[in-house]
Structure 1
Amino acid sequence: MSISLSKGQRIDLTKTNPGLTKVVVGLGWDTNKYNGGADFDLDASAFLLHEDGKAKGADDFIFYNNTSGGNGSVVHTGDNRTGEGDGDDEQIDVDLSKVPANISRIGITVTIYDYESRGQNFGQVSNAFVRVVDAATNRELMRYDLGEDFSTETAVVFCEFYRHGEEWKFQAIGSGFSGGLTALCQNYGLDAK
């Protein structure tokens, strides 16, 4: 049975699921009945964060143009440019057993591509969620439905995986940013130029 999380909630991931090493992070969304003349292209990304909470370089930033990082431990499976259809719109595969020892957190984010010229923001997005699935059994372990808390934001940190000793935990974040991918990169210590 999947656990439904609320904003800020933390949960043990590997301790409560012994033997769990590979997870699929599925992210999904719908757009409100709004037509600005362009599709909504939301993009999932992962930031591999060191002890200071910052990414250090390109290998620590996984997205549609850099689909693998952390020595192959985190892999973006592809870009969905419209969000059409049911289920996950984009997925990120994470092999927790292979995440480099110097990485203490993995931030999972979603941004709106080309939001400025398209006049788009998360106020026009509904039913946004992140779910964690056991890759071996395809069983959904947990789900965080983002809610309708955003109006002008163009980037959202959905969740983070983090190390606690030898175990991995999960936290539902739900923190919005204005400024799209550039703002997120700056937040995580990268230059987005």
Structure 2
Amino acid sequence: MSISLAKGQRIDLTKSNPGLTRVIIGLGWDTNRYSGGFDFDLDACAFLTDQNNKCPNDTDFIFYNNLKDPSGAVEHTGDNRTGAGDGDDEQIKIDFSKVPSQIHKIAITVTIHEAAARKQNFGQVSNAFVRVVNEENSQEVLRYDLGEDFSIETAVVICELYRHGSDWKFSAIGSGFSGGLAALCQNYGLSV
């Protein structure tokens, strides 16, 4: 049975789900009626950070041009450029057993590609969600629906998966950023 979370809630992933090592982070969204002449291209990303909340290397930033981290622990399944249809628009797979010991947190984010040039923002996005699915049995473990809290933001930190001792936990963040992908990269210690 899936658990539904609200912004700010945290929940244990691996302790209450013994044997959970491989998950699929499914992200989805819809766009509101928009007549700006451009399609919306939202992109999911993962930032693998150390205890200082910074990416140790550029390869710890997983996105459409770097689909897999060197350890093989985190893999982006590919870019969906339209977000059309129901269900997950993009997915990121995580194998907790392979996450390097220096990585303490995996931040899952979504940005709008070329948001400034296309005059797009998250105020024009609706029904955004993230869900965690057990890859072994395809069962949804939890879901976080973001709501409509955004206006001018062009990037959102959706959630974080973080170490707590030997276990992994999930935190529903839902924090917006202006400045798109560049602002997120700088936040996690990467130069753009």
TM interval, short-chain normalised: over 0.9
For residues 1-52 of structure 1, give each alpha carbon's deviation from its aligned partner in whole angstroms, at most 9, with x where no partner exists. 1100000100000001000000000000000011211110000000000011
Aligned letter for 1:105?
A: K
For residues 138-174 of structure 1, give each alpha carbon's deviation from its aligned partner in whole angstroms, at most 9, with x where no partner exists. 0000000000000000000000000000000000000
Partner of residue 12, structure 1? 12
Pairwise CA distance, 1:113: 0.2
Give the distance between the partners of 1:98 and 1:9, measured in 2 at CA.
26
Partner of residue 125, structure 1? 125
Q: How does 1:163-174 map to 2 (within 5 A)?
A: 163-174=163-174
Q: Secondary structure of the equivalent of 1:30? A: strand
Partner of residue 159, structure 2? 159
Partner of residue 47, structure 1? 47
Q: How does 1:102-141 map to 2 (within 5 A)?
A: 102-141=102-141
Give the distance between the partners of 2:161 and 2:191, measured in 1 at CA.
23
Q: Is 1:181 aligned to residue 181 of structure 2? A: yes
Aligned letter for 2:28?
A: G
Partner of residue 32, structure 1? 32
TM-score (norm 2): 0.99
Change (3 A) 1:170 1:155: same
Give the distance between the partners of 1:139 and 1:2, measured in 2 at CA.
8
Change (3 A) 1:70 1:13: farther
Q: How does 1:95-106 map to 2 (within 5 A)?
A: 95-106=95-106
8 Å contact kept, 1:24–1:135: yes
Pairwise CA distance, 1:189: 0.7
Pairwise CA distance, 1:58: 1.5
Aligned letter for 2:41?
A: D
Task: Return structure 1 stretches of 4+ with deviation > 4 angstroms.
Answer: none
Q: Secondary structure of the equivalent of 2:87? A: coil
TM-score (norm 1): 0.98
8 Å contact kept, 1:70–1:100: no
Give the distance between the partners of 1:117 and 1:103, measured in 2 at CA.
34
8 Å contact kept, 1:12–1:170: yes
For residues 102-160 of structure 1, give each alpha carbon's deviation from its aligned partner in whole angstroms, at most 9, with x where no partner exists. 00000000000000111000000000000000000000000000000000000000000
Aligned residues: 192
Aligned letter for 1:29?
A: W
Please tell me the root mean square deviation across aligned C-alpha atoms, in Å: 0.6
Aligned letter for 2:116?
A: E
Aligned letter for 2:73?
A: S
8 Å contact kept, 1:3–1:143: yes
Give the distance between the partners of 2:139 and 2:39, measured in 1 at CA.
31
